[in-house]
Structure 1
Amino acid sequence: MRCLVTGATGYIGGRLVPRLLADGHAVRCLTRSAGRLRDVPWAGEVEVTEGDLSRPETLPAALAGIEIAYYLVHSLGQAGFEATDRAAATHFAAAARAAGVRRIVYLGGPVPPTGERHASAHLRSRAEVGRILLDSGVPTVVLRAAVIIGSGSASFEMLRYLTERLPAMVTPRWVHNRIQPIAVRDVLRYLVGCATLPDRVNRGFDIAGPDVLTFLEMMRRYAAVAGLSHRVVLPTRVLSPGLSSYWVGLITPVPNAIARPLVESLVQEAVAREHDIAGYLPDPPGGLTGFDRAVELALTKIRDFDVETRWSTASGPDQAAAEPLPSDPNWSGGSVYTDVRQARVAAPADALWRIIEGVGGENGWYSFPLAWSVRGWLDRLTGGVGLRRGRRHPHRLLVGEALDFWRVEEIVPGELLRLRAEMRVPGRAWLELRAEPDGDRASRYSQRAVFVPRGLAGHAYWAAVSPFHTLVFGGMARNIAAGAERLAGSYPGTRTR
């Protein structure tokens, strides 16, 4: 089959593509920026086309010759996401019908038993998108999943951090609502299987794992699987969904903009009302993956640094609106502030590069940890992403990945790492780290911070933080150089000068 995957840079889409390839399908990926798929392991096996669901004129080329179209995009966390998703689904439905697509497959959320008028905006929007696609005239399958358990998913990260960081906690009433979670491996199996469904199938299916649990039971069973002590939980009526989302945002890596719709989705019970999908795609031998096993698999992936995709890869400011790094000091006729640091390093460039590519996450930023932590907390308190997004892998980075409150904009292995800031600042900011050989077994480290202010507030911001740059950026340059020299000194038979 010839398949189109929208959302290939996202959590589910990035995992679905290699599984479709393994199943023998030809895959085309639709993305707003082809560069974001440049470094993924399967990049050479797919066709990548640039387009935007908000620009219907870009869709015919993406859908030309396609038989199965996977719709895996949403605007969760963005202002006005319901209208944005409604327009995108309408554009896609019309383009798919015009292109003669044989089937659309959409991954949505559960419809609450109490009725859609009581649903959260998140679930209401998901249901609306499903209806638009089902009414498109193209046979469509809508898979309705509640909480997805897998390494790197936003729901799993929320569960994980709440359970691991709080041995005792006061919780809202919704922790007693029933949920039927599903393992990400089962979601992907259903998505791949939908490519072979008969053309007559045009409907939604509930998909869920075998266990019906409350969120409280999920936390306690997570603790048991992870080898943690028993968690003490005290439910209260005081915490509304809004307050709960701020609480989740402070404790977990999931920012408020995403935590709020996720929390609101838990206010109603999310239990599968049917299992009709089994009539078309039978359960695997041994049955669907249980909650405990799904948690065990996810924790193993995290421990082995084998997390394929993370929620944060697709989360953040609008990537289409991101401006490239300005190289001209008089870029666009405006001001560009820079802070440039260089150091000669008594270590080969490959040792220096290993330190550069390892920055952030658990490895830290090599200077004044308290300052970085405070900046991260201030960002969280103002609704930003903060530092807790961390990194997917402790040693390797890919273009488009989130790295704490940065996003990897460019990476040239062994030479250049360019990060674009996603913290809340009155302007746009980048950080460039470079390594280059400099003589016999030595290298040169170059570091450049760039800030393009927005209005008077931007200029005031730069003036306020500039006095700290010697401490933060100067210390960072010195410590990265020292780290490379220590690393080089650990190589057998190597001496540093």
Structure 2
Amino acid sequence: MTDETVAQNAHEDGSRACLVTGASGYIGGRLVPELLDAGYRVRCLVRTPHKLRDHPWAGRVEIVQGDVTDAASVARAMTGMDVAYYLVHALGTGRDFERTDRQAARVFGEQARRAGVRRLVYLGGLTPAEVPERELSPHLRSRAEVGHILLASGVPTAVLRAAVIIGSGSASFEMLRYLTERLPVMVTPRWVHTRIQPIAVRDVLRLLVGCAKLPPDVSRAFDVGGPEVLTYLDMMQRYASAAGLPRRVILRVPVLTPGLSSHWVGLVTPVPAAIARPLTESLRHEVVCHENDIERYVPSPPGHPLGLDRALALALQRVREAQVVTRWSSAAVPGAPSDPLPTDPDWAGGSLYTDVREREADVPPEALWRVVEGIGGENGWYSFPLAWAVRGWLDRLVGGVGLRRGRRDARRLRVGDSLDFWRVEEIERGRLLRLRAEMRLPGLAWLEMRVDDDGGDVRYRQRALFHPRGLLGHLYWWSVSPFHAVVFGGMARNIVRAAARAQDDEGRHDRDPAATGHGASG
């Protein structure tokens, strides 16, 4: 939809309209479908519209291209809106991020007032009441300043102040995940003993949606958090338990300053240093809710707010069950707020190791697919049989299923079929076969085989995927990766060759019916 038609379409169906900034980000990308499900019309203001292309809701929203620092584009986006969500910040953009945040908040508030917007909603950071704002970390100081600017805009504003958000893809959660998974013994700075009140991403989204209906006389900040107050160290140990990891050994080193800590986090995790530094600096301060007034306006349903263990379980479940289809295949889309999204940063979702192979196939796609669907069991795995046999024996030695299960049918597979030490997780007949490993592993593994036909250009694409659990999982991948060229490379090459041989055999049989026994009695 073009910018010129935005104003004309405002209020056509009489429903409340919401503007969402930051829709290509972590919270914004999850808030949009929640608003749509709640019956709101949604417009998104984004700098790069194509980033929203792969979202399942992209066709249900209006999109305005622009920047929150540009008054003209913000004014255009505000036209006809009832509620405007401010979910952007300049964290990680450089040393001037405070100035950029200040300018953007002023533009947003001014244009909202001029457009007659009835409500602003902003998700900021939880700050300690006993610490003067000038002494806060630059990150927290900037988030607090943005809240003040929006509250002073003349438009009724709800500022939700949250600490660590628990959900796959959240920068704070990803830092927690990587630190805990990669280091069974950790040398940590003083801030691991800082008290924190984390909140599940589902509760954050529930409160953001609920704020759209706040009475017009409510314009204030609200502290929001989960039901537990604990230290960062407690969170690490609880994460280890939820992920099935041994209890972590923590060695505290008081000399690790926030600056040194950010470099340490950068070495251990893939979270960019420009993001890790302000996050670690913020952990100097205790961030605990001092009030729960939001409950009067947006009451919690039964079971909410979620406790840490439940929030961790949901985040980890989404990685295990949904990450394959949202990261590695376009066959499905995420269906819950905890799911990874296509626009999540590359470092979100935990470590993911891949081995990718691709071969051109000079055969019809159906001939190649027959070989793919016939893999395993008596037909074998088309590469280094001894290596597959040894892997099966080793699996049985540690109590796994090994290669003894074979396959149900020699030619056809269906979802749920066992296939040696794999299980068929997804099959799109003629196009895609995805297997999930059921061997004993320090992590989760998949093998994906795809037949692509682009106007007669047939290609075989193969991906082995491994999501490690703990340090042992990383060591396992690196110990077996030297053999991948032989095992997986040979597999891709031999599958294509087998399809070509089968096609040649079929051609000879067509040319010589006697070769198949047909016509001998004619």
Which TM-score applies when normalising by structure 1? 0.67
CA deviations on 1:386-414 (whole Å, 9 max, x unpaired) are xxxxxxxxxxxxxxxxxxxxxxxxxxxx9
* Cα pair distance change 1:101/1:169, threshold 3 Å: same
Q: For 1:124, give the aligned amino acid.
A: R
The residue number in structure 1 matching 2:468 is none
Does the Cα contact within 8 Å between 2:203 and 2:306 map onto a contact in 1? yes
Rounded Cα–Cα distance in structure 2 between residues aligned with 1:251 and 1:302 = 20
Give 2:216's match in structure 1, choosing from 178, 182, 199.
Answer: 199
Does the Cα contact within 8 Å between 1:438 and 1:444 map onto a contact in 2? no
- Indicate whether 1:116 and 2:133 are aligned: yes
Offset at residue 346 of structure 1 (A): 3.9
The residue number in structure 2 matching 1:218 is 235
* Cα pair distance change 1:219/1:6, threshold 3 Å: same
* Cα pair distance change 1:181/1:436, threshold 3 Å: same
The residue number in structure 1 matching 2:20 is 5
Does the Cα contact within 8 Å between 1:134 and 1:203 map onto a contact in 2? yes
The residue number in structure 2 matching 1:153 is 170
The residue number in structure 2 matching 1:90 is 106
Offset at residue 437 of structure 1 (A): 4.0
Higher CA-based Rg: 2
The residue number in structure 2 matching 1:25 is 40
Q: For 1:179, give the aligned amino acid.
A: I
Does the Cα contact within 8 Å between 1:148 and 1:182 map onto a contact in 2? yes
Does the Cα contact within 8 Å between 2:319 and 2:340 map onto a contact in 1? no
Q: For 1:180, give the aligned amino acid.
A: Q
Does the Cα contact within 8 Å between 1:69 and 1:103 map onto a contact in 2? yes
Offset at residue 59 of structure 1 (A): 1.4
Report the 3-state secondary structure (helix = DSSP H, G, I; strand = E; otherwise coil) of the residue aligned with 1:4: strand
Rounded Cα–Cα distance in structure 2 between residues aligned with 1:51 and 1:122 = 24
Offset at residue 112 of structure 1 (A): 2.0
User: Structure 2: 5+ residue runs without aligned partners?
Assistant: 1-15, 327-333, 347-357, 370-430, 432-451, 462-485, 505-522
Does the Cα contact within 8 Å between 2:226 and 2:306 map onto a contact in 1? yes
Mapping of 1:272-283 within 5 angstroms? 272-283=289-300
Does the Cα contact within 8 Å between 2:122 and 2:158 map onto a contact in 1? yes
The residue number in structure 1 matching 2:8 is none
The residue number in structure 2 matching 1:102 is 118
Rounded Cα–Cα distance in structure 2 between residues aligned with 1:289 and 1:29 = 29
Does the Cα contact within 8 Å between 1:154 and 1:311 map onto a contact in 2? no
Does the Cα contact within 8 Å between 1:489 and 1:496 map onto a contact in 2? no
The residue number in structure 1 matching 2:434 is none
- Indicate whether 1:162 and 2:184 are aligned: no
Give 1:54's match in structure 2, choosing from 52, 69, 72.
Answer: 69
Report the 3-state secondary structure (helix = DSSP H, G, I; strand = E; otherwise coil) of the residue aligned with 1:305: helix
Rounded Cα–Cα distance in structure 1 between residues aligned with 2:146 and 2:306 = 28
* Cα pair distance change 1:315/1:90, threshold 3 Å: farther
Offset at residue 34 of structure 1 (A): 1.4
Q: For 2:69, give the aligned amino acid.
A: S
Does the Cα contact within 8 Å between 1:10 and 1:311 map onto a contact in 2? no
Offset at residue 117 of structure 1 (A): 1.7
Give 1:135's match in structure 2, choosing from 152, 155, 165.
Answer: 152
Report the 3-state secondary structure (helix = DSSP H, G, I; strand = E; otherwise coil) of the residue aligned with 1:304: helix
Rounded Cα–Cα distance in structure 1 between residues aligned with 2:30 and 2:502 = 43
Give 2:30's match in structure 1, choosing from 1, 12, 15.
Answer: 15
Does the Cα contact within 8 Å between 2:55 and 2:342 map onto a contact in 1? no
Instruction: Give me the CA root mean square deviation.
Output: 3.2
CA deviations on 1:270-300 (whole Å, 9 max, x unpaired) are 0001000001111221331000110001000
Rounded Cα–Cα distance in structure 2 between residues aligned with 1:221 and 1:31 = 37
> What percent identity do the matched residue pairs reach?
57
Rounded Cα–Cα distance in structure 1 between residues aligned with 2:258 and 2:182 = 20
Equivalent residues, number: 361
- Indicate whether 1:231 and 2:248 are aligned: yes
CA deviations on 1:117-146 (whole Å, 9 max, x unpaired) are 221000000000001100000000000000
The residue number in structure 2 matching 1:458 is none
* Cα pair distance change 1:213/1:241, threshold 3 Å: same
Does the Cα contact within 8 Å between 1:34 and 1:50 map onto a contact in 2? yes
Does the Cα contact within 8 Å between 2:318 and 2:340 map onto a contact in 1? no
Q: For 2:285, give the aligned amino acid.
A: Q
Does the Cα contact within 8 Å between 1:153 and 1:311 map onto a contact in 2? no
Offset at residue 348 of structure 1 (A): 6.2
Report the 3-state secondary structure (helix = DSSP H, G, I; strand = E; otherwise coil) of the residue aligned with 2:91: coil
Report the 3-state secondary structure (helix = DSSP H, G, I; strand = E; otherwise coil) of the residue aligned with 1:12: helix
* Cα pair distance change 1:291/1:242, threshold 3 Å: same
Rounded Cα–Cα distance in structure 2 between residues aligned with 1:494 and 1:185 = 53
The residue number in structure 2 matching 1:171 is 188
